[in-house]
Amino acid sequence: MIERYAPLLATIVVFLAIYGFGAVSYNNFFSTLVFGDLITDNAFVIIAAVGATFVILSGGIDLSVGSMIGFVSVALAALVGHGWHPLAAAALLIPLGALFGAAMGYLIDACEIQPFIMTLAAMFLLRGLCFVVTLDSLPISHPFVDAFAGWGIPLPGDGRISASGLLMFAALAFGIVLAHFSRFGANVYAIGGDAQSARLMGAPIRRTITCVYALGGFYGALAGVVYAFYTGSGYPLAAVGVELDAIAAVVLGGALLTGGVGFVAGTLFGGLIQGTIQTLITFDGRLTSWWTKIVIGALLFVFIVAQRAILRSTRTRESLA
């Protein structure tokens, strides 16, 4: 029992340790204000990372998430500029994102194209579409967006859980239910663990893979909407490299990049670990932002090597059994 949850527990412990370190080291760090901001600032990354979790659990990878966020944000800005209601634009763009993901997933399975290279092409395509829509930053000025940015559930102290944060939690909850309580979720885990066996056990591979990338597209587009509302603008170079942040969040969340093992809830903490490191470095005036990347890289290294070691030890146990 405990063994299965060990990586998740490790992630939570790391998060608490980093957060605790901040609380002890800096005044005002341990406050609802900082915590609320942490949630708000990282909401879109975590939403995208939930989608990436499904893709990685299935044994694939999605490099197009950052471009998807960028594209949705500029498309939304452009549509609002043409007089659309932001919600109407979101209602159009989110299914479109899911459809785009589904097409990728279908081609990956049907044409046996490596997910890595397929989503790379998609990344170029979506980023290119960003530039076609606009070359400059487009402001999104609409009362609804202002209201979205201003609204929040007040917490004791000065902090609040913003609308972005709430959306993130909703998306996370949906992901958890889907991963752990639906047949689709069970099939994703099975395919990521051993696609050959999963097929022999009757799991529908093509349908599941198509849905997995559709889900990745859905979450990517949703992250784009949240990002656009949160920043109040659309910018064609927005969210460059967020796919890596998302993948890092999934790995730090305890998922195996080879697929089949991990928890959607872990991704929340993986994302929060990255966010907390960033906050810590901002709090400490002396350190500069590059430390974020180095620390995250080092954490990635530790997690990956530890996973590898665990995997190896179980394998030797098997072969000796």
Partner 1 sequence: MQAPRVELTNVSKRYPGVVALQGVDIAFAAGEIHALLGENGAGKSTLIKIMTGAVGRDSGEIRIDGAPVEIATPTAAQALGVGAVYQEVNLVPTLSVAANLTLERQPRRFGFIDWRKAREAARESLAKLGLDIDVERSLGSYSLAIQHLVAIARALRPETRTLVLDEPTASLDAREVDRLFAVMRELKARGIAIVFITHFLEQVYAISDRISVLRNGRLVGGGLTRTLPQVELVSLMLGHELQALEARGPAAAKKQDGEPLLAVENLGARRVIAPFDLSLRAGDVVGLAGLLGSGRTEAAKLIFGATPADSGTIRIDGRPVNWRSPRQAMRRGVGFCPEDRKREGLLLDLTVRENIVLALQSKRGWFRRIPRNEQDRLADEMIAALGIATPDAERPAGQLSGGNQQKVILARWLISDPRILILDEPTRGIDIGAHAEIIALIRRLCAQGLGLLVASSELDEIIAVSTRVAVLRDRRKIAEIEGEAITRDAIVQAIAGP
Partner 2 sequence: MSGETVRSRAPRAPVAHSWSDRRALWPLAALAAIFLVDAFISPGFFTVRIVEGRLYGSLIDILYRGAPTALVALGMTTVIGARGIDLSVGSIIAICGAAMTWLIHADVSAPLVLLATLGVGLLCGLWNGVLVTVFDIQPIIATLILMVAGRGVAQMIDAGMIITFRNPFFSSLSTGAVGWIPSRIVVALGFYVVVWLALRLTALGLFVESVGSNAEAARLTGVDARFVKIVTYLISGLASAIAGILITADVRGSDANNAGLWMELDAILAVVLGGASLNGGRVLIVNTLLGVLIIQSLTTSILVSGLPPEYNLIVKAAVVFVCLLLQSRPFRSSLGRLLRLGRP
Q: Give the DSSP letter of residue 277.
A: H
Window contacting partner 2 (CB under 8 A); options: 39-47, 158-166, 190-198, 295-303: 295-303
**Smallest distance, partner 2 to C-beta of residue 115, A:** 10
| Rounded Cα–Cα distance for residues 258 and 227 (Å) | 29
Residue 181 touching partner 1 (CB under 8 A): yes
Residue 177 touching partner 2 (CB under 8 A): no
In the region spanning residues 192 to 211, those forming contacts with partner 1, defined by CB under 8 A, are: 192-194, 196-203
Question: Which partner in partner 1, partner 2, none is near 24 (CB below 5 to 8 A by kind)?
Answer: none
Is the Cβ of residue 149 or residue 178 nearer to partner 1 in the bound state? 178
Q: What is the CA radius of gyration of the chain?
A: 20
Q: Which 3 state secondary structure label does DSSP give 152?
A: strand
Cβ distance 220 to 69 under 8 Å? yes
Joined tokens for residue 31: 């406050």
Q: Which 3 state secondary structure label does DSSP give 139?
A: strand
Residues in contact with partner 2, shown as a per-residue x/- string from 131 to 170 under the rule CB under 8 A:
xx--x-----------------------------------
Using CB under 8 A, which of 141, 237, 308, 313 touches partner 2? 308
Cβ distance 187 to 198 under 8 Å? yes
| Rounded Cα–Cα distance for residues 73 and 90 (Å) | 10
Mention every residue, 6+ apart, whose C-beta is less than 8 A from residue 130. 67, 70, 71, 74, 236, 237, 238
Question: Which partner in partner 1, partner 2, none is near 321 (CB below 5 to 8 A by kind)?
Answer: partner 1
Residues in binding contact with partner 2, number by CB under 8 A: 44
| Rounded Cα–Cα distance for residues 51 and 220 (Å) | 7
Residues in contact with partner 2, shown as a per-residue x/- string from 260 to 289 under the rule CB under 8 A:
----------------------------xx
**Smallest distance, partner 1 to C-beta of residue 195, A:** 9
Joined tokens for residue 294: 């180095």
Which positions touch partner 2 (CB under 8 A)? 61, 107, 110-114, 116-118, 120-125, 127-129, 131-132, 135, 244, 247-248, 257-258, 288-298, 300-301, 304-305, 308, 312
